[in-house]
Every structure is written in C-alpha cells, then in structure tokens.
Amino acid sequence: MTVQHIQLSYVQKLTLVFLCCLTLMFTATTNAQDMSPNIAWEKINAGAMILDVRTEQEFAAGHIEGAINIPFEVVLAQLTKQNISKETQIVLYCRSGRRSGIANSALVDAGFTQTYNGGGLQMLEAQTSH
C-alpha cells in the first residue's frame, strides 16, 4: 500500500510539473506575440493611441511621433481619469518592452480589450515598413 501511495504521489508531481511547463510555454508565446513591431505599426497606422510609458526624461530625449507620455506606474489611473474607453485601440511601448508589458497587463486586468505591447522604442524605430 505504501508503494502505491508513493507512485501516486510521484505521478501527481509529474502531472503538476508538466502543467506548470505548459503554462510557462503559453505565457512566453503570448508575450512574444505582443512585441511584434509589424503588428504594432499596423495598429498605429490604423489610428491606435500610442502610449510611451517611459519617464518624462526618456520621452523628451526622443519618441514616436504622436505618442503620449504617461509613465507606466500611472497609466491605468490616467486613462481612467481621462475617461478613455476600454475599447480604445492602444499601443504601448517603452525602452525594452518590460514596462510597457507591465502597463499593458494592468490595462487588460482592468478590462481594456484593445491594448498591444509594442515592445521597445528602438525595435519600433528600426522597423522600416511604417
């Protein structure tokens, strides 16, 4: 009876590890898809709001034309304060994609449905098809 319990416990552990690996793989795939410069520019060219979530100093040093600067820590509060519709097309970017990813997650968690993490500024600027 002890052997069966150990085997069952081992199988449960393997199942848990397998499910965790699948979750991590799915999450990595989702994040990678959210940082395609081609898709970001398609959305921008279609009229999406462009949010630069870097600091004011970074924004002043250079940004995408037409971008609005709202630091990532206050994006949700500012969009809510300005009564921005949760269906508004929004592309967010920062230096590397990390801060825009954090801001994007906060917006999605709050019910925004049309947000996109455009990734880093240099990656977007390097894309020549815009």
Give me the pLDDT at residue 33, please: 46
pTM of the entire structure?
0.74
Low-confidence ranges of the chain (pLDDT < 50): 1, 5, 20-33
Give me the pLDDT at residue 1, please: 47
Give me the pLDDT at residue 25, please: 47
Give me the pLDDT at residue 113, please: 96
Give me the pLDDT at residue 24, please: 47
Catalytically active residues are: 94
Q: According to DSSP H, which parts of 34-116 are helical?
A: 37-45, 56-60, 75-81, 98-109
Give me the pLDDT at residue 12, please: 66
Give me the pLDDT at residue 127, please: 86
Amino acid letter, 8: L
Interval 44-60: pLDDT, tens? 999 999 999 999 999 99
Q: Distances from the Cα of 90 to the Cαs of 14, 24, 107, in angstroms?
A: 41, 26, 10
Give me the pLDDT at residue 21, please: 47
Could you give the CA distance from residue 79 to residue 32 in angstroms, rounded to a whole number? 25
Give me the pLDDT at residue 116, please: 97
Beta strands in 1-130 (DSSP E): 49-52, 68-69, 90-94, 115-120
Give me the numbers of helices (H) and strands (E) for the chain, helices first please: 6, 4
